[in-house]
Amino acid sequence: EDKAHNVGILRAINVIVHTLEITLFKPKVYVCKVEPPPTMNVSKIGVNASIEKAVQHIWDLDVNRLTPGVDYVIDVQQGKKPYWKGDNAADPLFVRVNERVFRRPTYRTFIALLDNYKAEVGAAEVVTSQERAENKAFLKAIMQTGPMQFCHKYCRANKPDIVPADQTGFINLLHKIWFDLYSRSRGKARDSSGFEHVFVGEIKDGQISGFHNWIQLYLEEKKGNVDYKGYIKPRNYKDAETNGDDHVLTLQFSWNGVDKTVGTDFIGVSPEFEMALYTMCFLVGKEDNKVRLETKTDIFDLNIKCYTMARDKIGTSYPEALSHEEA
């Protein structure tokens, strides 16, 4: 009885301390002082060259990115062609992930969103007040980072007619393009959003649609819902070998028994990097945005695909690997 009483007291003290920390010790507001240089302006160098420079820049700003072999270990196992049947990976993709990184504000608020959706296209989504608060908390958290603040500056510089100058206005725009619901089932129900499709994944016509995020992949694999079936062999035999330090991986997997024949994910990047990347491509870029990305260990030629739904919202966005070489 005394032990239970003492445990209760300690829990009460922890709640009080946590409340005081939140109230009295607010983190210092981050301000990205880097402005997009004139050499990055779309009107001067064109959309493709501008997007490529901006993508490399937010990569370099991503201090929350995880380090392969240190923060996580993946086992890519055997490669396959997309049309090959069977499982070329006997083991999970993720050997380990240091989950302490998930306590970081952008990771923690991102993960809180992953259980807010129904996977089946055609099943209407209902957004609760708690879920709206979670959306807002995530957007506020990522706007305290270099990649997203640079994204704001870049989009404002190139699309001043649609991108507000103030951060509150930009957050409202982000909410609209990422979280506003629309129909992916020919108007039958408001069953989808850009965020759900890209980061969480959906099931449509017996196939996985979307699902382009490594954190969701890891968490679902940990639960036993994802079966990794191997990486997709590169199109060009001259490409570098796929291995555990690649930050871009083209793979095949199943989710709750439903197949994703081929998909490409960034591995180990922060939520703010992907949000910044796809937002820039949506607001400033085109449907196809070809970029060269240097990750220090590798060089990837990528096509960042980006499609619109419901006139002014993100339908999908994801990387497509065109070539890969060692740095």
User: Which positions are annotated as active-site residues?
Assistant: 197, 212, 260
Cα–Cα distance between 294 and 237 in angstroms, integer?
Answer: 20
Six-digit token pair at 34? 């880097």
CA-wise closest residue to 195 among 130, 282, 255, 267:
282
CB atoms within 10 A of CB 17: 10
Let me know: does 322 contact 303? Beta carbons within 8 Å. Answer: yes
As to burial, measured by CB atoms within 10 angstroms (0-12 exposed, 13-18 middle, 19+ buried), residue 123 is: middle
H runs (alpha helix) in the chain: 2-24, 42-45, 47-61, 105-111, 129-142, 146-158, 167-179, 194-195, 214-223, 271-283
Distance (Å, rounded) from C-alpha 242 to C-alpha 234? 8
Q: Does residue 321 sit in helix, strand or coil?
A: strand
C-alpha dihedral, 121 to 123 to 124 to 129, nearest 10°: -100
d(CA 155, CA 284): 6
What does DSSP say about strands 207-209 and 202-204: parallel, antiparallel, or unpaired?
A: antiparallel
Q: Taking a C-beta distance cutoff of 8 angstroms, is the pair 292, 238 a contact?
A: no
**Residue 214 CA to its chain's centroid (Å):** 7
